[in-house]
Amino acid sequence: MSLKSEIFEQPAVLTRLIRDQLDQVQKIAAAIRTQNVSFVYLAARGSSDNAGLYGKYLWGSYNRLPVALAAPALFSRYERPPNLQNALVVGISQSGQSPDIVSVIAEGQKQGALTLAITNDPQSPLAMAAKFTIDTAAGPEKAVAATKTYIAQLMSIAMLSAALSCDDNRLVDLNAVPVLVQETLALDRFIEQGVENYRDLRQCIVLGRGYNYATAVEWSLKLKELSYVIAAPYATSDFLHGPLALLSPGFHILAIMPTGAVFADIFKLLSELVVTHKVRLVAISNDEQALALAHTSLRLPTKLPEWLSPLVGIVPAQLFSYYLTRAKGYDPESPRGLTKVTRTW
Protein backbone atom coordinates (compact mmCIF):
# COMPACT_ATOMS: atom_id res chain seq x y z
CA MET A 1 0.00 0.00 0.00
CA SER A 2 1.41 3.40 -1.02
CA LEU A 3 0.24 6.99 -0.81
CA LYS A 4 -0.70 6.93 -4.49
CA SER A 5 -2.66 3.71 -4.17
CA GLU A 6 -4.57 5.18 -1.21
CA ILE A 7 -5.44 8.26 -3.28
CA PHE A 8 -6.80 5.94 -5.97
CA GLU A 9 -8.74 3.94 -3.38
CA GLN A 10 -10.93 6.91 -2.56
CA PRO A 11 -13.91 6.19 -4.86
CA ALA A 12 -14.25 2.72 -3.32
CA VAL A 13 -13.88 4.15 0.20
CA LEU A 14 -16.69 6.64 -0.41
CA THR A 15 -18.96 4.01 -1.95
CA ARG A 16 -18.44 1.70 1.02
CA LEU A 17 -18.94 4.50 3.54
CA ILE A 18 -22.29 5.51 2.07
CA ARG A 19 -23.42 1.89 1.87
CA ASP A 20 -22.35 0.85 5.36
CA GLN A 21 -22.84 3.97 7.46
CA LEU A 22 -25.89 5.80 6.10
CA ASP A 23 -28.30 4.03 8.46
CA GLN A 24 -26.06 4.88 11.42
CA VAL A 25 -25.82 8.50 10.30
CA GLN A 26 -29.60 8.73 10.04
CA LYS A 27 -29.93 7.37 13.59
CA ILE A 28 -27.48 10.00 14.79
CA ALA A 29 -29.42 12.71 12.97
CA ALA A 30 -32.64 11.55 14.63
CA ALA A 31 -30.95 11.70 18.05
CA ILE A 32 -29.71 15.22 17.35
CA ARG A 33 -33.23 16.33 16.41
CA THR A 34 -34.64 14.98 19.68
CA GLN A 35 -32.03 16.85 21.74
CA ASN A 36 -31.99 20.59 22.30
CA VAL A 37 -28.79 20.95 20.28
CA SER A 38 -28.08 24.61 19.56
CA PHE A 39 -24.44 24.43 18.40
CA VAL A 40 -21.59 22.06 17.49
CA TYR A 41 -18.34 22.01 19.45
CA LEU A 42 -15.73 20.26 17.32
CA ALA A 43 -12.29 18.98 18.33
CA ALA A 44 -9.64 17.70 15.88
CA ARG A 45 -6.00 18.00 14.85
CA GLY A 46 -4.16 18.07 11.52
CA SER A 47 -6.12 16.95 8.47
CA SER A 48 -9.06 16.10 10.72
CA ASP A 49 -9.11 19.74 11.83
CA ASN A 50 -9.33 20.74 8.17
CA ALA A 51 -12.30 18.40 7.75
CA GLY A 52 -13.81 20.24 10.71
CA LEU A 53 -13.48 23.52 8.80
CA TYR A 54 -15.68 21.99 6.11
CA GLY A 55 -18.19 21.05 8.81
CA LYS A 56 -18.15 24.63 10.08
CA TYR A 57 -19.36 25.91 6.72
CA LEU A 58 -21.61 22.99 5.79
CA TRP A 59 -23.47 22.51 9.09
CA GLY A 60 -23.73 26.27 9.42
CA SER A 61 -25.15 26.89 5.96
CA TYR A 62 -27.44 23.88 5.51
CA ASN A 63 -28.37 23.01 9.09
CA ARG A 64 -28.19 26.44 10.77
CA LEU A 65 -25.89 25.06 13.45
CA PRO A 66 -23.09 27.35 14.65
CA VAL A 67 -19.81 25.41 14.83
CA ALA A 68 -17.10 26.28 17.34
CA LEU A 69 -13.66 24.74 16.83
CA ALA A 70 -12.42 23.55 20.21
CA ALA A 71 -9.22 24.51 22.01
CA PRO A 72 -8.40 21.04 23.44
CA ALA A 73 -5.77 22.43 25.82
CA LEU A 74 -8.62 23.97 27.84
CA PHE A 75 -9.59 20.39 28.69
CA SER A 76 -6.28 18.53 28.83
CA ARG A 77 -3.88 21.16 30.23
CA TYR A 78 -5.74 24.08 31.75
CA GLU A 79 -8.54 21.82 33.00
CA ARG A 80 -11.02 24.67 32.59
CA PRO A 81 -13.48 23.43 29.94
CA PRO A 82 -16.25 25.70 28.65
CA ASN A 83 -19.94 25.08 29.22
CA LEU A 84 -21.09 22.48 26.69
CA GLN A 85 -24.78 22.55 27.55
CA ASN A 86 -26.94 22.11 24.43
CA ALA A 87 -23.87 21.25 22.34
CA LEU A 88 -23.24 18.41 19.94
CA VAL A 89 -19.63 17.63 20.87
CA VAL A 90 -17.78 16.11 17.91
CA GLY A 91 -14.30 14.58 17.86
CA ILE A 92 -12.70 13.85 14.48
CA SER A 93 -9.59 11.71 14.33
CA GLN A 94 -8.17 9.17 11.90
CA SER A 95 -6.76 7.00 14.69
CA GLY A 96 -8.94 8.13 17.60
CA GLN A 97 -5.83 7.96 19.78
CA SER A 98 -4.95 11.55 20.67
CA PRO A 99 -5.61 12.14 24.39
CA ASP A 100 -6.49 15.83 24.05
CA ILE A 101 -9.26 15.12 21.53
CA VAL A 102 -10.55 12.26 23.68
CA SER A 103 -10.61 14.62 26.69
CA VAL A 104 -13.02 16.95 24.88
CA ILE A 105 -15.45 14.11 24.17
CA ALA A 106 -15.13 12.76 27.71
CA GLU A 107 -15.95 16.19 29.14
CA GLY A 108 -18.93 16.45 26.80
CA GLN A 109 -20.22 13.16 28.17
CA LYS A 110 -19.60 14.35 31.73
CA GLN A 111 -21.64 17.50 31.12
CA GLY A 112 -24.50 15.54 29.57
CA ALA A 113 -23.96 16.77 26.00
CA LEU A 114 -24.59 14.63 22.94
CA THR A 115 -21.22 13.29 21.75
CA LEU A 116 -20.07 11.97 18.38
CA ALA A 117 -16.79 10.43 17.23
CA ILE A 118 -15.86 10.39 13.53
CA THR A 119 -12.93 7.99 13.27
CA ASN A 120 -11.39 5.22 11.22
CA ASP A 121 -11.10 3.00 14.33
CA PRO A 122 -14.44 2.22 16.00
CA GLN A 123 -12.56 0.52 18.87
CA SER A 124 -10.36 3.55 19.58
CA PRO A 125 -10.39 5.55 22.83
CA LEU A 126 -12.23 8.35 21.02
CA ALA A 127 -15.01 6.03 19.86
CA MET A 128 -15.25 4.43 23.29
CA ALA A 129 -15.66 7.86 24.90
CA ALA A 130 -18.51 9.01 22.62
CA LYS A 131 -22.19 8.11 22.65
CA PHE A 132 -22.28 7.79 18.85
CA THR A 133 -19.63 6.86 16.30
CA ILE A 134 -19.38 7.20 12.54
CA ASP A 135 -16.86 4.62 11.34
CA THR A 136 -15.24 6.19 8.29
CA ALA A 137 -14.52 2.64 7.07
CA ALA A 138 -11.50 3.68 4.98
CA GLY A 139 -9.53 0.54 5.80
CA PRO A 140 -5.90 0.62 6.93
CA GLU A 141 -4.13 3.82 5.88
CA LYS A 142 -0.39 3.09 5.83
CA ALA A 143 0.86 6.34 4.32
CA VAL A 144 1.74 9.04 6.85
CA ALA A 145 -0.09 11.73 4.86
CA ALA A 146 -3.86 11.36 5.23
CA THR A 147 -5.79 11.09 1.97
CA LYS A 148 -8.54 8.48 2.00
CA THR A 149 -9.28 9.02 5.70
CA TYR A 150 -9.59 12.77 5.10
CA ILE A 151 -12.06 12.38 2.23
CA ALA A 152 -14.01 9.84 4.31
CA GLN A 153 -14.27 12.39 7.12
CA LEU A 154 -15.61 14.95 4.63
CA MET A 155 -18.18 12.43 3.42
CA SER A 156 -19.22 11.62 7.00
CA ILE A 157 -19.80 15.32 7.65
CA ALA A 158 -21.76 15.67 4.40
CA MET A 159 -23.88 12.59 5.13
CA LEU A 160 -24.82 13.93 8.55
CA SER A 161 -25.73 17.30 7.07
CA ALA A 162 -27.95 15.66 4.45
CA ALA A 163 -29.58 13.39 7.04
CA LEU A 164 -30.31 16.35 9.33
CA SER A 165 -31.92 18.29 6.50
CA CYS A 166 -34.16 15.34 5.47
CA ASP A 167 -33.56 16.25 1.82
CA ASP A 168 -33.58 13.24 -0.50
CA ASN A 169 -32.10 15.31 -3.33
CA ARG A 170 -28.97 15.86 -1.28
CA LEU A 171 -28.67 12.11 -0.72
CA VAL A 172 -28.83 11.64 -4.50
CA ASP A 173 -25.99 14.14 -4.87
CA LEU A 174 -23.96 12.27 -2.24
CA ASN A 175 -24.28 9.01 -4.13
CA ALA A 176 -22.81 10.64 -7.24
CA VAL A 177 -19.59 11.72 -5.50
CA PRO A 178 -17.60 8.45 -5.91
CA VAL A 179 -18.05 8.65 -9.69
CA LEU A 180 -17.00 12.32 -9.73
CA VAL A 181 -13.88 11.44 -7.73
CA GLN A 182 -13.12 8.62 -10.16
CA GLU A 183 -13.44 11.03 -13.09
CA THR A 184 -11.07 13.47 -11.41
CA LEU A 185 -8.42 10.80 -10.91
CA ALA A 186 -8.07 10.79 -14.69
CA LEU A 187 -5.94 13.94 -14.20
CA ASP A 188 -3.17 11.73 -12.83
CA ARG A 189 -0.89 11.63 -15.86
CA PHE A 190 -1.45 15.32 -16.69
CA ILE A 191 -0.51 16.35 -13.15
CA GLU A 192 2.53 14.07 -13.10
CA GLN A 193 3.86 15.78 -16.21
CA GLY A 194 2.84 19.30 -15.19
CA VAL A 195 4.49 19.39 -11.77
CA GLU A 196 7.91 19.17 -13.40
CA ASN A 197 7.51 22.93 -13.92
CA TYR A 198 7.28 23.40 -10.15
CA ARG A 199 10.19 21.30 -8.90
CA ASP A 200 11.91 24.50 -7.67
CA LEU A 201 8.85 25.71 -5.76
CA ARG A 202 9.87 26.73 -2.25
CA GLN A 203 6.99 28.93 -1.10
CA CYS A 204 3.47 29.71 -2.20
CA ILE A 205 0.06 30.96 -1.15
CA VAL A 206 -2.94 28.60 -1.25
CA LEU A 207 -6.33 30.27 -1.61
CA GLY A 208 -9.95 29.15 -1.26
CA ARG A 209 -13.14 30.41 0.30
CA GLY A 210 -16.38 29.10 1.77
CA TYR A 211 -16.62 25.32 1.74
CA ASN A 212 -13.24 25.17 0.03
CA TYR A 213 -11.33 27.17 2.59
CA ALA A 214 -10.93 23.69 4.12
CA THR A 215 -9.49 22.44 0.80
CA ALA A 216 -6.97 25.27 0.68
CA VAL A 217 -5.79 24.53 4.22
CA GLU A 218 -5.56 20.79 3.56
CA TRP A 219 -3.69 21.35 0.28
CA SER A 220 -1.19 23.57 2.06
CA LEU A 221 -0.71 20.90 4.73
CA LYS A 222 0.03 18.24 2.12
CA LEU A 223 2.60 20.51 0.47
CA LYS A 224 4.29 21.17 3.82
CA GLU A 225 4.42 17.62 5.10
CA LEU A 226 5.34 15.92 1.82
CA SER A 227 7.35 18.34 -0.33
CA TYR A 228 8.51 20.75 2.43
CA VAL A 229 7.10 23.78 0.64
CA ILE A 230 6.28 26.80 2.81
CA ALA A 231 2.62 26.99 1.81
CA ALA A 232 0.47 29.59 3.55
CA PRO A 233 -3.32 29.05 3.26
CA TYR A 234 -5.82 31.90 3.30
CA ALA A 235 -9.45 32.54 2.65
CA THR A 236 -9.43 34.98 -0.26
CA SER A 237 -11.27 37.53 1.89
CA ASP A 238 -8.55 37.36 4.58
CA PHE A 239 -5.78 37.48 2.01
CA LEU A 240 -6.63 41.08 1.23
CA HIS A 241 -6.10 42.06 4.87
CA GLY A 242 -2.30 42.11 4.81
CA PRO A 243 -0.84 38.99 3.12
CA LEU A 244 -1.36 40.62 -0.28
CA ALA A 245 1.83 42.57 0.44
CA LEU A 246 3.86 39.35 0.06
CA LEU A 247 3.35 39.22 -3.68
CA SER A 248 5.93 39.98 -6.32
CA PRO A 249 6.14 39.00 -10.01
CA GLY A 250 6.47 35.24 -10.40
CA PHE A 251 5.11 34.43 -6.94
CA HIS A 252 3.06 31.22 -6.98
CA ILE A 253 -0.63 31.18 -6.07
CA LEU A 254 -2.48 27.85 -5.83
CA ALA A 255 -6.25 28.23 -5.77
CA ILE A 256 -9.30 26.01 -5.40
CA MET A 257 -12.18 27.78 -7.14
CA PRO A 258 -15.15 25.65 -8.28
CA THR A 259 -18.31 27.40 -9.39
CA GLY A 260 -20.71 28.50 -6.67
CA ALA A 261 -21.65 31.40 -4.42
CA VAL A 262 -18.09 32.65 -3.80
CA PHE A 263 -16.68 31.99 -7.28
CA ALA A 264 -17.15 35.52 -8.67
CA ASP A 265 -15.24 37.08 -5.78
CA ILE A 266 -12.36 34.60 -6.08
CA PHE A 267 -12.15 34.99 -9.84
CA LYS A 268 -12.10 38.79 -9.61
CA LEU A 269 -9.26 38.71 -7.07
CA LEU A 270 -7.18 36.17 -8.98
CA SER A 271 -7.65 38.03 -12.26
CA GLU A 272 -6.21 41.12 -10.59
CA LEU A 273 -3.33 39.15 -9.11
CA VAL A 274 -2.39 37.60 -12.45
CA VAL A 275 -2.66 40.87 -14.42
CA THR A 276 -1.40 43.40 -11.86
CA HIS A 277 0.99 41.39 -9.69
CA LYS A 278 2.11 38.96 -12.41
CA VAL A 279 1.69 35.93 -10.15
CA ARG A 280 1.81 32.39 -11.49
CA LEU A 281 -1.50 30.63 -10.89
CA VAL A 282 -2.36 26.96 -10.43
CA ALA A 283 -6.15 26.64 -10.41
CA ILE A 284 -8.47 23.77 -9.57
CA SER A 285 -11.81 24.68 -11.11
CA ASN A 286 -14.70 23.68 -13.33
CA ASP A 287 -15.12 27.18 -14.82
CA GLU A 288 -13.67 27.81 -18.28
CA GLN A 289 -12.63 31.40 -17.51
CA ALA A 290 -10.76 30.32 -14.40
CA LEU A 291 -9.04 27.48 -16.22
CA ALA A 292 -8.01 29.86 -19.02
CA LEU A 293 -6.64 32.37 -16.49
CA ALA A 294 -4.30 29.85 -14.84
CA HIS A 295 -0.81 28.90 -15.91
CA THR A 296 -1.64 25.33 -14.83
CA SER A 297 -5.30 24.28 -14.94
CA LEU A 298 -6.69 21.25 -13.12
CA ARG A 299 -10.20 20.60 -14.37
CA LEU A 300 -13.03 19.46 -12.10
CA PRO A 301 -16.26 17.82 -13.33
CA THR A 302 -18.75 20.36 -14.67
CA LYS A 303 -21.80 19.21 -12.71
CA LEU A 304 -20.44 19.49 -9.20
CA PRO A 305 -22.65 20.84 -6.38
CA GLU A 306 -20.69 23.47 -4.47
CA TRP A 307 -21.47 21.91 -1.08
CA LEU A 308 -19.77 18.68 -2.19
CA SER A 309 -16.91 20.25 -4.15
CA PRO A 310 -14.34 19.79 -1.32
CA LEU A 311 -14.67 16.01 -1.67
CA VAL A 312 -13.72 16.20 -5.35
CA GLY A 313 -11.49 19.28 -5.35
CA ILE A 314 -9.03 17.80 -2.85
CA VAL A 315 -8.14 14.96 -5.25
CA PRO A 316 -6.07 16.97 -7.77
CA ALA A 317 -4.49 18.77 -4.80
CA GLN A 318 -3.40 15.41 -3.38
CA LEU A 319 -1.97 14.29 -6.71
CA PHE A 320 -0.19 17.63 -7.20
CA SER A 321 1.42 17.32 -3.76
CA TYR A 322 2.38 13.68 -4.34
CA TYR A 323 4.04 14.27 -7.72
CA LEU A 324 5.72 17.48 -6.60
CA THR A 325 7.30 15.51 -3.76
CA ARG A 326 8.68 12.98 -6.20
CA ALA A 327 9.84 15.69 -8.63
CA LYS A 328 11.83 17.24 -5.80
CA GLY A 329 13.48 13.88 -5.11
CA TYR A 330 11.77 13.25 -1.76
CA ASP A 331 10.05 10.06 -0.62
CA PRO A 332 6.28 10.62 -0.23
CA GLU A 333 6.06 7.50 1.92
CA SER A 334 8.48 8.79 4.57
CA PRO A 335 8.05 12.49 5.34
CA ARG A 336 10.81 13.51 7.67
CA GLY A 337 10.06 13.65 11.38
CA LEU A 338 6.46 12.43 11.04
CA THR A 339 4.65 9.28 12.14
CA LYS A 340 1.19 8.01 11.25
CA VAL A 341 -0.32 8.41 14.72
CA THR A 342 0.41 11.64 16.57
CA ARG A 343 -0.66 11.89 20.20
CA THR A 344 -0.97 15.35 21.75
CA TRP A 345 -2.01 16.34 25.27
Percentage of residues in the chain having pLDDT higher than 70: 98
Looking at residue 204, what is its pLDDT?
97
User: Would you list the domain boundaries of the chain?
Assistant: 3-166, 187-327
pLDDT in tens, 285-297: 999 999 999 999 9
DSSP summary character for residue 38:
-
Tell me the pLDDT band of 345, cut-offs 50, 70 and 90.
low
- Cβ atoms < 10 Å from Cβ of 200: 7
Which amino acid is residue 168, in one-letter code? Answer: D
Instruction: Using the predicted structure, report yes or no on whether residue 284 has a pLDDT greater than 90.
Output: yes
Q: Which CATH class is domain 3-166?
A: alpha beta
CB 172 within 8 A of CB 200: no
Tell me the pLDDT band of 77, cut-offs 50, 70 and 90.
confident
Fold: same for 3-166 and 187-327: yes
pLDDT in tens, 172-225: 999 999 999 999 999 999 999 999 999 999 999 999 999 999 999 999 999 999
Tell me the pLDDT band of 18, cut-offs 50, 70 and 90.
very high
Looking at residue 78, what is its pLDDT?
87
Fold of 187-327: Rossmann fold (3.40.50)
Average pLDDT, the chain: 95
- CA-to-CA separations, 332 to 143, 310, 340, in angstroms, rounded: 8, 23, 13
pLDDT in tens, 309-324: 999 999 999 999 999 9
* Mean pLDDT, residues 162-166: 96
- Cβ atoms < 10 Å from Cβ of 195: 23
H/E run at residue 319: helix 309-327
What distance in Å separates the CA atoms of residue 174 and residue 88, rounded to the nearest whole number?
23
What distance in Å separates the CA atoms of residue 227 and residue 97, rounded to the nearest whole number?
26
Looking at residue 343, what is its pLDDT?
66
Tell me if the pTM is above 0.75.
Answer: yes
Instruction: Using the predicted structure, report yes or no on whether residue 340 has a pLDDT greater than 50.
Output: no
Q: List the one residue out of 329, 336, 312, 338 whose CA is nearest residue 150.
A: 312
Instruction: Using the predicted structure, report yes or no on whether residue 337 has a pLDDT greater than 80.
Output: no
Looking at residue 342, what is its pLDDT?
64
Looking at residue 242, what is its pLDDT?
84
Tell me the pLDDT band of 240, cut-offs 50, 70 and 90.
confident
Residues 6+ apart with CB under 8 A from 57: 210, 211, 213, 214
* Mean pLDDT, residues 52-81: 94
Looking at residue 23, what is its pLDDT?
97
Cα torsion angle, 32, 37, 38, 43, sign: negative
pLDDT in tens, 96-110: 999 999 999 999 999
Direct distance between the N- and C-terminal alpha carbons of the chain, in angstroms, rounded to an integer: 30
